[in-house]
Amino acid sequence: MKKTLLFAATTIALTLGAPLAANAGDRCLDDACDLRALYEAPATSGGATGTATGTAAVSAKRFGTWGIDTDGMNRDVRPGADFFDYVSGTWAANTEIPADKSMYGSFLGLRDLSEQRVHQLLESYPKADPATGGDAAKLAALYQGYLDEKTVEALDAKPLQPYLDAIRNAKDKDAIARLMGESSASLGRSFFGSYVSDDQRNPDVYTLYFSQSGLGLGDREMYLGEKFAPQRERYVAYIAQLLELGGWADPKGHADAIMKLETAIAQAHWTRAESRDRDKTYNPVVLAELDTVAPGFPWQTYLAAAGLDYATDGVIRQDTALPKIASIFADADLDTLQAWQAFHTIDNAAPMLSRRFADAEFEFRSKFLSGQPEQAARWKRAVSYTSSAMGEAIGRDYVELYFPADAKAKMDALVSNVKAAMGARLDQLEWMSPATKAEAHAKLKGFGLKIGHPDTWRDYSGLQVANGDVLGNAVRAAQFEWDYRRVRIGKPVDKGEWGMTPQTVNAYYNSVKNEIVFPAAILQPPFFDPAADPAVNYGGIGGVIGHEIIHGFDDQGRKSDGNGLLRDWWTAEDAAKFEVQAAKLGAQYEAYEFPQLPGMHINSKVAMGENIGDLGGLTIALEAYRRSLDGKDAPVIDGFTGEQRFFMGWAQVWRTLWRDDALRQQLVNGTHSPGHIRAFAPLRNIDAWYDAFGVTEADALWVAPEDRVRIW
C-alpha cells in the first residue's frame, strides 16, 4: 500500500493525521489491528481550529418524508430477487458516479457534505502570521498555500531536490537505512513499517510495532497474481515516469530493477488473511536483538533515525516475513536501493508539487488503478491537505455548527438499547456454553462508548507552519505527528483519545480499548435522522451500532477480553462451533460473482470480521427495534410494515456504485465486502427478512433455513 502524503489509504484516520502521516501506508490496517472501521473508500477530506464566526451551517439532505427515499426504489423487482435493486434500483439507474470519484453512494454523498462544511470553515479563516496567529492562521496558511497553484508551478521540482540530493549522497546501505528511519516522519519509504499503539497484551501502555512494508502497488497479489499483469506493466512505466520527472539517471533500467526488488518483497509478505490473525501477529522482541532476529538490515541505524533508539522492546507482526525482507535488503545493490527510495520520495511528494508531478500521480493511482476520470478540484485537494495536517483543529468549529446537544442523548439511548439486545441474544444462544457466555457478558458490560467528538482537543501550538511552503508544511506536520506518537512508548495509554475526527463519516471499534466510536458526521441521514421513522433509524445507525459491537465478538475481536487484553476466553468446544458457522458465512460471500470482473471474488478470510459484523449487527439491531416497541404493533407507513422499513433502512445505507477498476482494487486490497453486496448479503441469514417480504424458494436470494448462518 502506498504511503500517501495527503491522504490516508484507508478512510479511517487511525492514530495518524498529518499529510505525510507517518508510515500511513505501513500502519496496520487489518483485523489484527486495534481499530476496526465500518467502511473504507477512496480517501476524502477528514478533519481540520479557529473561529467560525459568521459561518452559516450547510444543511444535510433528508431522505423522503420518513427516512426512506421511496422515489429511488425499483418496485418492479421482487425483494427476494435483488434487494439492492428493490430498495435502490431507480437511484442506481439515475445516478452517475461523479467524474472526480471512482465510486459513489450513501457514504460518499455524506462525505461530500462534510467536505463542503470543512471547505466553508477553511474559507472563513483570515490569513495572518501562522507563527503568532494561532490555529486559525495556521489553517489559513495551509489551505491558501495549497490553493496558490501559481507559486506551486513556479517552484516546480525545487522543494523536492534536497530530499533527492540526500538520497544521491547515501554512499552505503547504512545511509539508506537512515533514510528509511527518517521516512517515519518525512518523505520516502521503508521496507519495514513502524508505529506506536496500545499494547494488545498490556492495554494500559503504548508499545512499538513493526510490520512488513515496502510495496508501492498494494497487496502482494498485485505482484504475484496472473490477472494483474496489466497493472504491473503500467506500474513499471509509472516508476520510470516519476524517476525521469525527478531527473534520476536511467529511469527505465531503474524501474525494472525496482519492480524486481518489490516482487521479491511481495513474495516474502504474509497474505492479508495471515496478517489479520491476531494469534500470530503479536511477537514480542527486544530491540537490541533485532540484528539477530532479522539480520542483514542496520536496525540500530534505522531506530536512531526514527527517534526510536530510546525504546527497549517492541512487537513484530509478521515474524517470519521480516527476516526475509531484511535479507532482501542485504542482497540488493546500493544503486537500486537509492532509486527505490527516490521513486517513493517523488511518489509521496507528487500531489504537492507542480502539475506535471501531480497529474502523473493522479493518472496512475486514481485514473488507471481506480478508474477515476477526473482529478478532484484543487479546493477539494486543499481541504484534504489542510484537514489531514490539523485534524482536530477544525473539528471544534465543526462540532459547534453541526452537532446539536440532543444528538448525543439520542445516540446514547440507541446504543443502550442495542447493547441490551446483544445481552439478550447472548442469553438465547444455544450453541454457547455458560462459561463462555459469562465472559461474553463481562466483555459487553465493559464496552466503552464515544459519541460526537473528543472531550479534550489536540494542541497544535508546537506545529510550525509557513506561508507558501506546501511541501515543507507537510513534512513538518508529519514530524509533529510522529513525535507526538513515538515519545509515548512505555507510557500510559490516553483512554480519551479518538482515532477519527468529528467530521469523519465513519465509525470504529477499538479492540484494545474495547470501545465503539461514532464521530458527529455519521449521525446524519441516511444513517440517523431524529425526524425519521424509528424503524429506519434502527436499520441505519442501529445496524451500524450493532456492527461495531459485534466487532468485539467477530473472528478476531473475540480474541480480546472486556479489558482489551489479547487472551483466549473461549472453551475449545464453543470456539469450534463458532468457526463452523464462520466458514459457512465465508462460503456464501465467496460465491458472489462480479460479471464485469471475471474470476474476481470476495476474499472471505480477509472480509470475515466485517461480514460477521454486518450479520450480527443487523440481528441485534432488529432485536433492539422490537424491544423499543414495548409490545405494541409498529405502524404501517406508505404500505410498509415496521420490519420492512427496518431492512430498507439498512439497504439504503449501502447504496454503492462502482467503477470497474475501483471494484477490483476493493476486492484486492480492501477488508470490506463491496457496499452493494452488504445491502443484501446479511439479510439472507435472517428469518425475519424472509417473513417481512414474503421471500420464497423461487427467489434468487433464498437460503434454506438449515443453511442460514446463525452466529450472534
Asked if the structure places residue 540 within a domain, the reply is yes
36 vs 681, more confident: 681
Question: What's the pLDDT score for residue 408?
Answer: 87
Q: Which three cell numbers stand for residue 325?
A: 525482507
* pLDDT for the residue 345: 98
Last residue of a domain, one of 303, 333, 363: 333
- Amino acid code (one letter) for 237: A
Split at pLDDT 50, 70, 90, the class of 146 is very high
- Amino acid at residue number 433: S
Same domain, 299 and 442: no
Would the pLDDT of 13 be above 60?
A: no
Q: Is residue 553 part of a domain?
A: yes
Report whether pLDDT(20) > 60: no
Q: In terms of pTM, does the model score above 0.85?
A: yes
Domain co-membership, 313 together with 431: no
User: Residue 14 pLDDT more than 60?
Assistant: no
Residue 25 has pLDDT above 70, yes or no: no
Q: Please give the pLDDT value at position 406.
A: 85
Range of the domain at 449: 404-454+498-693
Q: What is the CATH number of the domain that holds 248?
A: 1.10.1380.10
- Judgement on whether residues 617 and 536 belong to the same structural domain of the protein: yes
Mean pLDDT of the chain: 92
**Burial of 604 by CB count in 10 Å (0-12 exposed, 13-18 middle, 19+ buried)?**
buried
pLDDT tier for residue 405 given thresholds of 50, 70 and 90? confident
pLDDT score recorded for residue 17: 34
Is pLDDT at 45 greater than 50 in this prediction? no
The pLDDT score that the predictor gives to residue 4 is 38
Residues 328 and 410 in one domain: no
> DSSP readout, 534-550?
HHHHIIIIIHHHHHHHH
Is the peptide bond prior to 126 cis by the omega test (within 30 degrees of 0)? no
Among 636, 573, 503, 603, residue whose Cα is nearest residue 117 = 503
Arithmetic mean of pLDDT, 294-318: 98
100 in a structural domain = no
Position of cell 462502482?
Answer: 658
Domain boundary among 289, 308, 333: 333
Q: CB-based contacts of 145: which residues, under 8 Å, 6+ apart?
A: 151, 467, 468, 469, 470, 473
Which band of pLDDT confidence, cut at 50, 70 and 90, is reported for residue 363?
A: very high
The percent of residues in the chain predicted with pLDDT above 70, rounded, is: 93
At 469, list the grid cell. 511552503
Under the banding of pLDDT at 50, 70 and 90, the label for residue 614 is: very high
452-490 residue pLDDT tens: 999 999 999 999 999 999 999 999 999 999 999 999 999
d(CA 408, CA 531): 15
pLDDT reading at 710 higher than 90: yes
- Please indicate whether residue 58 or residue 41 has the higher confidence score (pLDDT): 58
pLDDT in tens, 659-668: 999 999 999 9
Band of the pLDDT at 28, cuts 50, 70, 90?
very low
According to the model, what pLDDT value does residue 419 have?
A: 95
Cα 499 to Cα 512: distance, rounded to the nearest angstrom = 13
d(CA 136, CA 123): 11
| Residues constituting the chain | 712
Q: Is residue 397 part of a domain?
A: no
333, 358, 373 — which closes off a domain?
A: 333
Strand partners, 37: 508
272: cell is 492479508
Counted domains in the chain: 2
pLDDT digits (tens, 9 = 90+) for 184-222: 999 999 999 999 999 999 999 999 999 999 999 999 999
Nearest-angstrom CA–CA distance, 594 and 332: 40
Q: What is the mean pLDDT of residues 261-267?
A: 98
Tell which residue, 313, 216, 325, has the closest CA to residue 268: 325
Q: Tell me the one-letter amino acid at 662.
A: A
Integer distance in angstroms from the first to the last C-alpha of the chain?
33
Alpha-carbon span 212 to 26, nearest angstrom: 7
pLDDT tens figures, 89-110? 999 999 999 999 999 999 999 9
Q: Residue 118 falls within a domain, yes or no?
A: no
Which residue bears the cell 497544535?
Answer: 460
pLDDT interval class at 673 (50, 70, 90):
very high
* Residue 164 predicted with pLDDT over 90: yes
Sequence-separated contacts (24+) of 708-711 with Cβ below 8 Å: 708/684, 709/581, 709/584, 709/585, 709/588, 709/615, 709/685, 710/581, 710/685, 711/578, 711/581, 711/582, 711/585, 711/612, 711/615, 711/616
pLDDT band at 42 (very low <50, low <70, confident <90, very high): low
313 and 418 part of one domain: no
Statement to judge: residues 441 and 574 lie in one domain: yes
In the structure, what pLDDT confidence band is assigned to residue 10 with cuts at 50, 70 and 90?
very low
Please check the confidence at residue 33 and state whether its pLDDT lies above 70.
no
Helix, strand, coil percentages (3-state) for the chain, rounded to 5, are 50, 10, 40
Same domain for 198 and 309, yes or no, is yes
Query: Which pLDDT value is given to residue 450?
Result: 96
Q: DSSP labels for 389-418?
A: HSTTHHHHHHHHHH--HHHHHHHHHHHHHH
Asked if the structure places residue 687 within a domain, the reply is yes
Q: Is the pLDDT of residue 58 over 60?
A: yes
Judge if 556 and 669 occupy the same domain: yes
pLDDT of 44 reads 39
Answer yes or no: are the C-beta atoms of 553 and 575 closer than 8 Å. Answer: no
- Same domain flag for 554 and 413: yes
| pLDDT for the residue 48 | 33
Element at 198 (helix H, strand E): strand 192-199
Residue 668 sits in a domain of what CATH number?
A: 3.40.390.10
Do 584 and 677 sit in the same domain of this protein?
yes
Burial (CB count <10 Å: 0-12, 13-18, 19+), residue 94: exposed
Same domain (yes/no): 430, 561: yes
Mean pLDDT confidence for 591-614? 96
**What is the model's pLDDT at position 22?**
38
Shared-domain flag, residues 447 and 310: no
